């Protein structure tokens, strides 16, 4: 089953529901930056995200330096942002709730 890219209206609506995530790549992706107290806390967070990504078969693009983690979500199969990215962002946010 093909994954569909969100329409501009859907993307805007979901971004309002995900206030800590920012649109990037001309609306084709969303990103969020995280800062933790140290590397161990950042790595622990990344491990938890990795476990979610594996179960969903939807893997983020990310960057880590010491206590900072930057995550970008996009669906390559859809050519941009999809509902899979939104659901993943919500799961990531729930880790910090």
**Residue 23 · residue 11 · CB < 8 Å:** yes
How far is residue 27's CA from residue 42's CA, in Å, rounded to a whole number? 27
Q: What is the pLDDT of residue 2?
A: 78
Whether pTM > 0.95 for this model: the answer is no
- The runs of H, that is alpha helices, within the chain are 8-17, 39-56, 83-95
How far is residue 86's CA from residue 97's CA, in Å, rounded to a whole number? 17
pLDDT digits (tens, 9 = 90+) for 45-82: 999 999 999 999 999 999 999 999 999 999 998 889 99
What's the number of CA atoms in the CB half-sphere (13 Å) around residue 23? 16
Query: Sorting pLDDT into bands at 50, 70 and 90, what band is 1?
Result: low
Pick from 77, 54, 53: nearest CA to 3: 77
Query: Sorting pLDDT into bands at 50, 70 and 90, what band is 96?
Result: very high
How many other C-beta atoms can be found within 10 angstroms of the C-beta atom of residue 45? 18
């Amino acid at each position: 089953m093909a994954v569909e890219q969100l329409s501009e209206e859907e993307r805007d609506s979901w971004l309002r529901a995900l206030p800590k995530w920012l649109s990037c790549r001309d609306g084709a992706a969303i990103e969020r930056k995280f800062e933790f107290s140290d590397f161990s806390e950042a790595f622990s967070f990344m491990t938890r995200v990795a476990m979610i990504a594996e179960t969903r078969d939807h893997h983020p693009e990310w960057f880590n330096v010491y206590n900072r983690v930057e995550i970008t979500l996009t669906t390559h199969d859809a050519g941009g942002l999809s509902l899979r990215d939104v659901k993943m962002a919500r799961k990531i946010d729930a880790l910090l709730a």
